Amino acid sequence: MLGDDARASRLLALTGLTPDALRERLGERRVLAAILDFLCAHEPDLLAAAEALGVEPQEIAAARESLQQ
């Protein structure tokens, strides 16, 4: 996801995180939820992430839903 400069810049801008803060807080439920929200909000990002991870886009969406409960 962060391998694409435009996508990474949008993620950081929309979440307000810095690259260092993202690395430090990646295990936090709230940060994970924000990243999954970001991916699910824009289909091209969702599809690219799913392909890079070798999963179906629905799996990412399901992970997002589980974090919101």
Please provide the average confidence, as pLDDT, over all residues in the chain.
91
> pLDDT band at residue 1, thresholds of 50, 70 and 90?
low
- The answer to whether the CB of 46 falls within 8 A of the CB of 57 is yes
pLDDT at 26 over 70: yes
> pLDDT band at residue 50, thresholds of 50, 70 and 90?
very high
Instruction: Give the start-to-end residue ranges of the domains of the chain.
Output: 5-67
pLDDT at 44 over 90: yes
pTM attached to this predicted model? 0.83
How far apart CA 30 and CA 22 sit, in angstroms, is 11
Q: Which two tokens stand for residue 6?
A: 């435009």
- The answer to whether the CB of 60 falls within 8 A of the CB of 32 is no
